[in-house]
Chain A
Amino acid sequence: MDPKIIRELEQILGKQSVLSKSEDLMMYEYDGSIEVARPEVVVFPRTTQEVVRIVHLANRTNTPITGRGAGTGLSGGALARQGGILMVFSRMNKILELDLENQRAVVQPGVVNMDITRAVEHAGLYFAPDPSSQKSCTIGGNVAENAGGPHTLLYGVTSNHVCGLEVVIPSGEVVRVGGKTVDAPGYDLTGLLVGSEGTLAIVTEVTVKLTRLPEAVKTLLAVYDSVDDATETVAEITARAITPAACEMMDGWTLRAVEAWVHAGFPLDSAAVLLIEVDGLKEAIEVQADEILDVCKIHHAREVRVARDAQERELLWKGRKNAFGAVGRLSPSYYVQDGVIPRTKLPMTLRQIDVIGKKYGFEIGNIFHAGDGNLHPIILFDPRDLAQYERAVAAAGEIMAHCISVGGSITGEHGVGFEKSELMPLMFTEADLEAMRRVRHAFNPTGLLNPGKIFPFGKGCGEVRVQPFAVGSSTPL
């Protein structure tokens, strides 16, 4: 990078807010995915005006900008794929306004998801989207990826809880879309921007909806001796139109990995467990819980435990939310998928994943948002072994192809990023992709923002494009 650009950035932000030494940049070449890309400079703006000045500079010098929150994303969305400026929002982390009566909060993008809830729970409110990384991930990242989480089954994803944004578009203009109120005239730009993976605009302020905390919560752990029984339970809960707040599944392999680390009390000899939570009015959840118990019994649950208190509930959720960390202890690397299928197809899909695993010689773990049909198969592999890496990628590709073949999606909540961009043609025609390119062109005509994401490069389809790398090294093999 031209040192003049770095000097100018230092003039805008001060030296302490610009990183350009190679050892500093290395810290920002990863996110939660298996991708790697090193930025040329990392900046930490504090205000919208600073963001505007950086965008003007980037425009003038044709330098790409990639936004980044906490770097917990799972699809390479916050990696500077084509170098340039990585704009990190950790210093734009103020809660600007809490409007409790109208159940709104206005926050800067660097505010941590959980901190919104912490700031308003005294008033009986919370921010509903709860990605597993919610203790560290930021609202800006949640907006970019349209983050989900276990409780989106009942409460919806990030886009259902964001009603307004302040953004800086590539021309450097500051634009407000939506607001605290509903039904802003014109096109739903807020709905479009949430989930646009930082490719359309830089979000500098977010207005979120706050949800009233449920009166009562009941958490059940159903234990099974067969994976089929667990998936059939989920399918029937859906078929009976019971919507729990969350319905998570963990297979035996995964829960043993989790139990060894978290000690949540998952039975080590089971084939699968369902973690099901109902919340709402106490009169409603009693009936719901009884119905769910009934379904679990019909499908041969060995045991259904009900969390006795908040502490036991916390522990069960800790096991679920730290699962990927636990799996990380078992293998040099792992590859998490994010496919979605209709809930009726859960039993056959889990069987199919097992078949694919056997074919490629992997034991594939499954821990996922079963109630949404949002799968997270985990393939453990050693990235130093190229053959193994290639098998892992091939297995992942087959799983994705299966999801699409039953009418599903290649990503339920992690985003396309650069991990799945080459899979987009599995789901979308060239005309569909062209419409998306036109949306990008309307906002980001020169590709200044987060280039190299979402859209496939090649004509070939269905290939997962990931570069293996040696552990402890940033050099792709």
Chain B
Amino acid sequence: MSTLTDAALARLEALVDRGRYFTDAESLSHCAIDGVAPHAGVQATTVEQVGEIVSFAAAEGLAIIPIGSGAQLGIGAPPARYDIALKICLDRILAFDPRDLTLSVEAGIPLNSLSARLRESRQFVPLDAHAGGSATVGGILAMNSSGALRNAYGTARDFVLGLEFVTGEGVRTKSGGRVVKSVAGYDIHKLMIGSLGTLGIITSANFRTFPLPPVQATFIATFQDAAGALQLRRAIAESRLQPRALDIVSPEAARFLKHADLSRTESLAVPELNWEEIRAELGETRAAEYRRQHREAVAAVRKVLPRAEAAGFSETAWSLVVAAGGNDSVVERHCRELETLAAAAGALSFREAKPDDPATAPDSLDGCEEWRWIRAFPDCVLQFDPVSAIFKLAVPPAAFGATLDGAKQIATRHELSSAALLRAPGLIYLALAPGNAAAGAINRLAAAGEELFTATAQAGGTAVIEFCPAELKRKMSVWGPPRTDLALMKNLKKEFDPRGILSPGRFYGGI
């Protein structure tokens, strides 16, 4: 382990193109993670540079964190050490063969520019992230981010064919292939996806692509209580219907979505927040950090949400939102049968959501405003209450009801308000909000979080915290308690990053 001496900095600077090295406080603050800023930043424009920079860092024992757009840096634990921020400025489409439905891209390409190219061939890759289209492919893969479309397409682990990455020793390596089927060698790419930059730095990825559905529609059914919405979820799961996406929005979540005014810069002042109290509780530096994070989160949301009006989610009812796609008759049938099933489950209302921009509608789910708001759920919550925590609970869908009840009790016990977004494959995004930054907010969140971790494990699931204040991360692991698989993961980490320089401390079990 060493620190960055002037001589070392000079060598680092020499590894990148002119103007691609920075040490000014302003630029470094954009790379900060949970208040920890690096000592230097570099932008790599070639894979060779990524290899050389990592080799340099390994030789010097310097901690390095890869960054795509920076949109998702808040996910994970705070880094144990952080010397160099490595921006991956590789954004070419290396190969796209629409007639073969395969694609190879560099890791730094933003999702929206990739989607635009694929749309020309009426294809897409079902990648998604709460940060939206500005997130890079590499960032999405490193986080294994996903969105509502995973109901039909799974996550990146299901449709990435192969990856190239640089190991913690700076060695360029690949796994998998470029064809739609290959079982040659270990699927190391599966390990890399969701490894948060702790095992290797992804430099390019090969995907299978998918045809855009010719017709797409979104339907919303509302219910007086969770039970009705869950009954409809089950009925759809047991029907012949094949929805592309199925989410359930709790009334509390709808309130966050509806009142988050993400269109005007003035709203960034957020009068609901008592900054005095926050400062009193967290101290000057941390409070300022929250304020900055919050401002950034809001700014990021503005890019994907141009409208001031909130989506048509009821604030008093549970909304079940379904996307269907296919030819005309397939979509019509979904409409018909969903309405019947919704009525049987006691729905208060059933309607089709209007796509606000039919030209881009079929891309993923973006043509429909409701889905954009759902994607921005974490940001909407954080706008109200930056001192809130958003958990991702993975439970069997049959346990949705019991998990919601349990979560509600835990929240109430700790004087937290809760809001839930459910996703059909078995996920609950649960926001716990202290409401204001009154004394003890962090302690209450921590206590509730531990109880949630225990309850989820007992129900046969797992839980992680996706978004929360850095202060909470210092009290508890966002990855939940370790399981029997941790020792093997530590072995793998040691093999791929023997010097422990890749995003140290950010991952599960302190990896």
* A-to-B contact residues, CB < 8 Å: 99, 101-104, 124, 145-146, 148, 152, 156-157, 159-160, 169, 173-177, 179-189, 191-192, 194-196, 200, 212, 214-215, 235, 238-239, 241-243, 280-281, 283-284, 287, 340-344, 369, 372-374, 407-416, 420, 424, 427-429, 431-436, 438-443, 454
Q: Which residue of A lies closest to B397 (CB)?
A: A102
Min distance, Cβ B172 to any Cβ of chain A, angstroms: 6
CB-defined interface of B142-179 with A at 8 Å, one 1/0 digit per residue?
00100000000011011000000001000111110111
Contact: B185 with A454, CB < 8 Å?
yes
**Contact yes or no, B181 A157, CB < 8 A:** yes
How many angstroms between the C-alpha atoms of A436 and B174 in the bound complex?
10
Which chain A positions have C-beta within 8 A of B241?
A: 281
Among the stretches B296-304, B341-349, B460-468, the one at the interface with A is B460-468
Q: What is the total of A-B residue contacts with beta carbons within 8 Å?
A: 254
Write the B462-480 contact mask toward A (1 if CB under 8 angstroms, else 0). Answer: 1010000000000000011
**A124, A212, A427, A442, most chain B CB atoms within 10 A:** A442
B129 CB to closest chain A CB (Å) equals 14
Contact between chains at A344 and B97 (CB < 8 Å)? yes
Chain A's nearest CB lies how many Å from the CB of B209? 8
Of the candidates B181, B190, B234, B495, the one having the most CB atoms from chain A within 10 angstroms of its own CB is B181
Contacts of B392 in A (CB 8 A): 183
A414 touches B183 (CB 8 A): yes
CB-defined A-B contacts under 8 Å, sample of 26 = A102-B396, A145-B183, A159-B187, A174-B484, A180-B460, A181-B460, A182-B394, A183-B462, A187-B194, A188-B190, A191-B190, A239-B98, A241-B211, A284-B330, A340-B180, A341-B179, A343-B100, A411-B182, A412-B182, A416-B185, A424-B185, A427-B185, A432-B173, A442-B494, A442-B495, A454-B185
| Contact, CB under 8 Å: B394 / A183 | yes
- With a cutoff of 8 Å between Cβ atoms, the chain A residues found around residue B426 in the complex are 102, 181-182
**Nearest neighbor of B463 in chain A, beta-carbon distance:** A185
Which residue of B123, B187, B242, B330 has the most chain A CB atoms within 10 A of its CB atom? B187
CA distance in complex: A187, B180 (Å): 23
Bound form: Cα–Cα A298–B461 in Å: 52
Judge whether B191 and A187 touch: CB under 8 Å.
yes
Given contacts A101-B234, A189-B489, A342-B97, contact A183 B181 (CB under 8 A): no
Complex Cα distance A373/B101, Å?
12
Q: Which residues of B contact A436 (CB under 8 A)?
A: 175, 185-186, 188
Give B117 Cβ to nearest chain A Cβ, in Å: 15
Q: Which of A146, A169, A182, A284 has the most CB of B within 10 A?
A: A182
Task: Decide: B179 and A431 in contact? CB cutoff 8 A.
Answer: no
Report which of B174, B394, B492 forms a contact with A439, defined as CB distance below 8 A. B492
In the complex, what's the smallest C-beta–C-beta distance from A99 to chain B, in angstroms? 7
Q: In the complex where A180-B460, A372-B180, A373-B180 touch, is A342 in contact with B102 (Cβ < 8 A)?
A: yes
CA distance A439 to B495 in the complex (A): 7
Closest chain-B Cβ to A262's Cβ sits at a distance in Å of: 26
* Structural contact, A431 and B173, CB atoms closer than 8 A: yes
- The distance in angstroms between the C-alpha atoms of A344 and B327, with both chains bound, is 26
Interface residue B509 (Cβ < 8 Å from any Cβ of A): yes
Partner pick for B181 among A152, A186, A433, CB 8 A cutoff:
A152
Q: Other than the known A182-B425, A185-B464, A238-B101, what 15 A-B pairs have Cβ atoms closer than 8 Å?
A: A124-B238, A181-B395, A187-B199, A188-B194, A189-B191, A241-B210, A283-B333, A340-B181, A342-B178, A343-B101, A408-B178, A413-B183, A431-B173, A439-B188, A439-B495
Q: Report A148 CB to chain B, min CB distance, Å.
A: 6
Q: Is B359 an interface residue (CB 8 A)?
A: no
CA–CA, A410 to B176, complex, Å?
11
> Which chain B residues lie closer than 8 Å to A179 at the CB level?
460-462
Q: Which of A101, A176, A373, A428 contacts B185 (CB 8 A)?
A: A428
Q: For chain B, residues 295 to 332, give those with C-beta under 8 angstroms from any C-beta of chain A.
A: 326-327, 329-330, 332
Point out which of A160, A188, A195, A212 has the most chain B C-beta atoms below 10 A from its C-beta.
A188
User: Smallest distance from the beta carbon of A404 to chain B beta carbons, Å?
Assistant: 10
**Which of A124, A152, A173, A212 is most buried by chain B, counting CB atoms within 10 A of its CB?**
A212
List, in ascending order, chain A residues with CB within 8 A of B480's CB.
Answer: 185
Chain B residues touching A, range: 35 or more
Question: A235 near B99 (CB under 8 angstroms)?
Answer: yes
B412 at the interface (CB under 8 A from A): no
Chain A nearest CB from B492 CB (Å) reads 5
Distance, CA A124 to CA B241, complexed state (A): 13
Q: Which of A145, A241, A369 has the most CB of B within 10 A?
A: A241
- Asked if B496 is an interface residue, CB under 8 A from chain A, the answer is yes
Pairwise interchain contact A192-B178, C-beta atoms closer than 8 A: no
Q: Which of B193, B333, B492 counts the most chain A CB atoms within 10 A? A: B492
Give chain A nearest CB distance to B235 CB in angstroms.
12
Nearest-neighbour CB distance to chain B for A172, whole angstroms, equals: 13
- Which residues of B (16-71) have their CB < 8 Å from a CB of A? none
Interface pairs A-B: 3 shortest CB-CB: A191-B190, A241-B211, A409-B182
State A180–B395 Cα separation when bound (angstroms). 8
Of A342, A408, A413, A414, most B-chain CB atoms within 10 Å: A342
Q: Which residues of A contact B238 (CB under 8 A)?
A: 124, 212
Chain A nearest CB: distance from B103 CB in Å? Answer: 12
Q: How far is the CB of B498 from chain A (nearest CB, A)?
A: 9
> B329 to A283, Cβ gap below 8 A?
yes
Name which of B123, B199, B211, B394 has the most chain A CB atoms within 10 A of its CB. B394
Q: Check B242–A281 contact: CB distance below 8 A.
A: yes
When distances are taken between beta carbons in the complex, the residues of chain B under 8 Å from A280 are: 242
**Closest beta carbon of chain A to B352's beta carbon, Å:** 18
Flag B486-500 by CB within 8 Å of A: 1 or 0 each: 111101101110000
Please tell me if the beta carbons of B508 and A185 are within 8 angstroms of each other in the complex. yes
With both beta carbons as reference points, the residue of chain A lying nearest to B123 in the complex is identified as: A241
Looking across the interface, which residue of chain B has its beta carbon closest to that of A191? B190
The answer to whether B485 and A180 touch across the interface, beta carbons within 8 angstroms, is no
Cα A243 to Cα B213 with chains together (Å): 12
Q: How far is the CA of A241 from the CA of B191 in the complex (A)?
A: 29
Chain B residue at smallest Cβ distance from A104: B396
Chain B proximity of A156: nearest CB distance (Å): 7
Q: Which one of B157, B182, B488, B508 lies within 8 Å of A175 (CB-CB)?
A: B488
Within 8 Å by CB of B171, from A196, A343, A431, lies A431
Decide if B253 is an interface residue (CB 8 Å cutoff): no
Closest Cβ of chain B: how far from A240's Cβ, in Å?
8
Instruction: Assess whether B185 is in contact with A186, with CB atoms less than 8 Å apart.
Output: no
Give chain A residues whose Cβ lies under 8 Å from the Cβ of B495.
438-439, 441-442
Q: Indicate if B227 sits at the interface (CB-CB under 8 A).
A: no
Asked if A411 contacts B183 (CB within 8 A), the reply is: yes
What separation, in Å, do the CA atoms of A280 and B188 have in the docked complex? Answer: 33
